[in-house]
């Protein structure tokens, strides 16, 4: 007999080898470990911890956090921002949480000089104020002068045309009136769902020399005083010098003149204006009367669209430079499943003081951490790991969160359960939610548990929300906040919420996702939403283009969702005495967690390849009212400039890509190889 091998014995008479004994012991330990908390103690105790969380709310505590956070401006990459970083980090540490900062060296953009002047026919010149009213000196106040980050430097001189919100439809309206913006400066009022970058890009395509932009109505974001809305005009998210990888200090970087970098920035300068300065320009316009709809909307006193005899000169000089930004990360380790992560995030940086955006959300995040720490002192430990994330440089284009996601992409893909994002926690009354569909029912359940503190009568947030907008949950197709890299690049189920004066919803969502034995992810809602999306496309697509591949994949996904739902019910109905039940629940949870990743495609969305999610993501077809299947939407728009044969082929290809993505998600949900 060959050496190192032993003669096999009868299973009834042989003694187990030390290795077999060791393996068996390990399996029993694993099973025992996971059954310790299935179910997580007494259900009454779970409810007790939720009640303690809700009852420990303190508006005065949140107010004190907010005062500290907003005592001075704290733009990312500037010295004053370091104080805010220290405040957040120290808060987490004082609660006893594992806390660390994650630095990245990224390209940021700051203003050096800006001016706008009106030149009249009698040779008089009027220099327009660019700053907020009541702020006489930017250096003494610590504020950075109003600007658009990543705008190119330049001086332009020309006549002005009012282009409403700067949409393609607005330029068509001007064209029908005989007004051409080529060689002119366009003045835009912010709104119409377009990002600043998209507004400038469209204006550049129309031949405009530059863009002046002003805000009407709610100007809380990026503004102060009378309201000058700062913001970024860079396309995409993340550090432009490190597309696809984390911006480590000593890591690889593209050159600033690299084509891939330059494509992220507009080619014409732009500036934000105070409303009062914008009105002076509007008053000088001549030419055709503005459409009645334009005149009736907003608070501008608008008569004509231009141009006129008055010329406008504007100069912007800025600098792009490397700056160090810091994310602050705090961790509560899960007791049973420490390798499963529930992430709760908010960005910390602000254009000015950030009283609403973002630091009302930051103060709420700090308070949730305080309340979770209180639960821990009373004996609570989460089943899964909770990670608090305080992002930097969101205002420049979700840079802090994007770099962190890129750096941790593999671990997030394998371990992230969900990402819960809040920008503004106190932006007027009412509740507003955006989410991926499998989280809808959890949001409904949680909002039924939390009282609406703004209501004059006793009512839950769910009830108040229902009366205001019918419990509508928006989808996360835009690139609006830090959920974008988690969902649209990493495929992590995500929530983005805005609400008035309550931390309860955000905190309870985190508790359920961290503690529920079976993850509260309901893919039947997703299946229903996908069917509605398919039906919407069937109404606008050419009848010669078949949606059969899409319909078949949705049917397959629906079947998988029903199977997962039935399995969840059966597992939750069983007595928690079977040792293998814990492992069955773990396996089901992995499928529920990973299904969202199936919607990712390695090639990404055509023309915006960093965005991998084929159901929700940004589209280049700004006019489309369909905020889903961005690849199909873009192909439909591009087909107008192709032959019918080529156009149909492009649309069919995108339909197949989406169908394959849905099939991948269905396979992940079933947990089976095909």
pLDDT tens track for 458-486: 789 999 999 988 999 999 999 989 999 99
Confidence of residue 665 (pLDDT cuts 50, 70, 90): very high
If asked whether residues 284 and 160 sit together in one domain, one would say yes
Q: Is a pLDDT exceeding 50 seen at residue 37?
A: no
Residue with tokens 């004066």: 501
**540: exposed, middle or buried (Cβ count in 10 Å: 0-12, 13-18, 19+):** exposed
Determine, yes or no, domain membership for 212.
Answer: yes
Determine, yes or no, domain membership for 50.
Answer: yes
Q: Is a pLDDT exceeding 50 seen at residue 224?
A: no
Q: Is a pLDDT exceeding 80 seen at residue 455?
A: no
Residue with tokens 């949950």: 473
CATH code for the domain in which residue 534 is found: 1.20.930.40
What separation in angstroms does the CA of 260 have from each of 64, 173, 245, 604?
A: 44, 34, 14, 16
Determine, yes or no, domain membership for 4.
Answer: no
Structure confidence at residue 11 (pLDDT): 36
Q: Is the peptide bond before 414 cis (omega within 30 degrees of 0)?
A: no
If asked whether residues 536 and 405 sit together in one domain, one would say no
Residue of 386, 391, 399, 406 lying closest to 343 (CA atoms): 386
Summarised one tens digit per residue, pLDDT across range 514-560 is 999 999 999 999 999 999 999 999 999 988 899 999 999 999 999 99
Would you list the DSSP string of 367-389?
HHHHHHHHHHHTT---SEEEEEE
CATH code for the domain in which residue 233 is found: 3.50.30.30
Confidence of residue 13 (pLDDT cuts 50, 70, 90): very low
If asked whether residues 506 and 364 sit together in one domain, one would say yes
Q: Given the DSSP bridges, would you call strands 384-391 and 311-332 parallel, antiparallel or unpaired?
A: antiparallel
Is 394 marked active-site? yes
- The residue with greater pLDDT, 37 or 458, is 458
Domain that holds residue 364: 46-71+333-515
**245: exposed, middle or buried (Cβ count in 10 Å: 0-12, 13-18, 19+):** middle
Q: Is a pLDDT exceeding 50 seen at residue 6?
A: no
What separation in angstroms does the CA of 653 have from each of 209, 444, 550, 646, 660?
A: 38, 37, 11, 11, 11
Lowest-confidence pick of 8-22, 154-168, 331-345, 433-447: 8-22
Domain final residue, candidates 481, 515, 549: 515
Determine, yes or no, domain membership for 463.
Answer: yes
If asked whether residues 566 and 612 sit together in one domain, one would say yes
Residues 414-443, mean pLDDT to the nearest whole number = 88
If asked whether residues 506 and 629 sit together in one domain, one would say no
Summarised one tens digit per residue, pLDDT across range 365-397 is 999 999 999 999 999 999 999 999 999 999 999
| Dihedral angle sign, alpha carbons of residues 79, 81, 87, 92 | negative
If asked whether residues 306 and 361 sit together in one domain, one would say no
Percent of all residues in the chain with a pLDDT value above 90, rounded to a whole number? 77
> Catalytic one among 394, 556, 627, 654?
394
If asked whether residues 313 and 337 sit together in one domain, one would say no
User: Residue 28: CB partners within 8 Å, gap ≥ 6?
Assistant: 579
Residues 97-123, mean pLDDT to the nearest whole number = 97
If asked whether residues 273 and 411 sit together in one domain, one would say no
Determine, yes or no, domain membership for 8.
Answer: no
Residues 6-13, mean pLDDT to the nearest whole number = 35
Structure confidence at residue 2 (pLDDT): 38
- The residue with greater pLDDT, 92 or 9, is 92
What separation in angstroms does the CA of 398 have from each of 11, 223, 407, 674?
A: 61, 18, 14, 37
Structure confidence at residue 251 (pLDDT): 96
Main-chain phi, psi angles of 186, to 5 degrees: -100, 140
Structure confidence at residue 132 (pLDDT): 82
3-state secondary structure of 48: helix
> What average pLDDT is seen over the chain?
89
Structure confidence at residue 16 (pLDDT): 47
If asked whether residues 556 and 581 sit together in one domain, one would say yes
Q: How many angstroms separate the CA atoms of 119 and 362, rounded?
A: 45
Determine, yes or no, domain membership for 147.
Answer: yes
Give the chain's domain count.
Answer: 3
Confidence of residue 358 (pLDDT cuts 50, 70, 90): confident
Asked if 651 contacts 547 with a C-beta cutoff of 8 angstroms, the reply is no
Q: Is a pLDDT exceeding 70 seen at residue 416?
A: yes
Determine, yes or no, domain membership for 502.
Answer: yes
Q: What region, left, alpha or beta, does residue 46 occupy, with left being phi > 0 and alpha being psi -120 to 50 degrees?
A: alpha
Residue of 417, 214, 403, 249 lying closest to 322 (CA atoms): 249
- The residue with greater pLDDT, 226 or 412, is 412
Confidence of residue 135 (pLDDT cuts 50, 70, 90): low
Q: How many angstroms separate the CA atoms of 102 and 104, rounded?
A: 7
Structure confidence at residue 32 (pLDDT): 47
If asked whether residues 234 and 377 sit together in one domain, one would say no
Q: How many angstroms separate the CA atoms of 673 and 667, rounded?
A: 7
Domain final residue, candidates 515, 549, 583: 515
If asked whether residues 131 and 189 sit together in one domain, one would say yes
Confidence of residue 22 (pLDDT cuts 50, 70, 90): low
3-state helix, strand, coil in the chain (%, to 5): 40, 20, 40
Determine, yes or no, domain membership for 620.
Answer: yes
Summarised one tens digit per residue, pLDDT across range 600-635 is 999 999 999 999 999 999 988 777 778 999 999 999
Structure confidence at residue 580 (pLDDT): 86
CATH code for the domain in which residue 457 is found: 3.40.630.10
Domain final residue, candidates 298, 320, 342: 320
Structure confidence at residue 192 (pLDDT): 78
If asked whether residues 559 and 660 sit together in one domain, one would say yes
């Amino acid at each position: 007999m060959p050496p190192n091998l032993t003669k096999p014995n009868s299973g009834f008479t042989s003694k187990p080898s030390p290795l077999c004994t060791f393996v068996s012991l390990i399996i029993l330990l694993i099973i025992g470990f996971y059954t310790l908390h299935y179910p997580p103690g007494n259900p009454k105790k779970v409810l007790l911890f939720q009640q303690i969380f809700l009852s420990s709310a303190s508006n005065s505590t949140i107010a004190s956090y907010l005062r500290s956070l907003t005592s001075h401006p704290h733009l990312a990459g500037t010295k004053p921002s370091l104080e805010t970083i220290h405040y957040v980090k120290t808060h987490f540490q004082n609660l006893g949480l594992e806390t660390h900062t994650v630095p990245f060296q990224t390209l940021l953009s700051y203003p050096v000089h800006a001016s706008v002047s009106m030149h009249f026919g009698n040779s008089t010149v009027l220099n327009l104020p660019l700053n907020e009213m009541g702020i006489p000196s930017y250096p003494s106040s610590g504020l950075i002068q109003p600007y658009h980050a990543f705008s190119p430097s330049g001086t332009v001189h020309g006549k002005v045309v009012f282009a409403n919100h700067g949409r393609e439809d607005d330029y068509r309206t001007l064209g029908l009136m005989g007004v051409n913006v080529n060689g002119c400066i366009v003045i835009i009022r912010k709104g119409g769902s377009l990002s600043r970058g998209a507004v400038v890009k469209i204006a550049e395509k129309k031949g405009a020399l530059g863009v002046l932009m002003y805000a009407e109505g709610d100007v809380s974001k990026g503004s102060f005083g009378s309201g000058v809305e700062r913001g970024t005009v860079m396309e995409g998210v993340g550090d432009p010098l490190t597309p696809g990888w984390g911006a480590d200090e000593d890591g690889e970087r593209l050159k600033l003149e690299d084509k891939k970098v330059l494509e992220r920035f507009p080619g014409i300068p732009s500036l934000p204006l105070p409303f009062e300065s914008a009105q002076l320009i509007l008053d000088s316009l001549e030419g055709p009367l503005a459409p009645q709809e334009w005149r009736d909307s907003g608070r501008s006193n608008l008569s004509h669209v231009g141009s006129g005899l008055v010329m406008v000169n504007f100069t912007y000089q800025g600098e792009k430079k490397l700056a160090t930004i810091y994310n602050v990360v705090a961790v509560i380790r899960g007791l049973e499943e420490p390798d499963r992560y529930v992430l709760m995030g908010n960005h910390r940086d602000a254009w000015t003081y950030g009283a609403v955006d973002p630091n009302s959300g930051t103060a709420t995040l700090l308070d949730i951490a305080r309340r979770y720490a209180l639960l821990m002192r009373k004996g609570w430990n989460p089943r899964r790991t909770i990670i608090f994330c305080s992002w930097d440089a969101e205002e420049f284009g979700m840079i802090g969160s994007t770099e962190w996601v890129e750096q941790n992409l593999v671990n997030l893909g394998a371990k992230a359960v969900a990402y819960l994002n809040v920008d503004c926690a106190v932006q007027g009354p009412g509740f507003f939610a955006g989410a991926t569909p499998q989280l809808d029912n959890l949001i409904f359940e949680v909002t039924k548990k939390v009282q609406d503190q703004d209501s004059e009568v006793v009512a839950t947030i769910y009830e108040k929300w229902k009366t205001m907008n019918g419990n509508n949950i928006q989808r996360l197709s835009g690139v609006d906040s830090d959920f974008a890299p988690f969902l649209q690049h990493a495929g992590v189920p995500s929530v983005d919420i805005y609400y008035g004066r309550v931390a309860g919803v955000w905190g309870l969502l985190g508790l359920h996702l961290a503690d529920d034995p079976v993850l509260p992810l309901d893919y039947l809602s997703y299946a229903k939403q996908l069917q509605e999306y398919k039906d919407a496309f069937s109404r606008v697509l050419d009848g010669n283009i078949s949606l059969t591949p899409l319909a078949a994949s949705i049917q397959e996904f629906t079947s998988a969702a029903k199977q997962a739902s039935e399995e969840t019910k059966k597992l939750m109905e069983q007595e928690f005495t079977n040792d293998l039940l814990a492992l069955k629940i773990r396996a089901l949870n992995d499928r529920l967690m990973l299904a969202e990743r199936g919607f990712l495609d390695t090639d990404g969305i055509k023309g915006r390849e960093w965005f991998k999610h084929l159901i929700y993501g940004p589209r280049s077809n700004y006019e489309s009212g369909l905020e889903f299947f961005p690849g199909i939407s873009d192909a439909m728009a591009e087909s107008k400039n192709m032959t019918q044969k080529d156009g149909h082929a492009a649309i069919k290809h995108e339909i197949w890509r989406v169908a394959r993505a849905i099939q991948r998600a269905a396979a992940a949900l079933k947990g089976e190889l095909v």
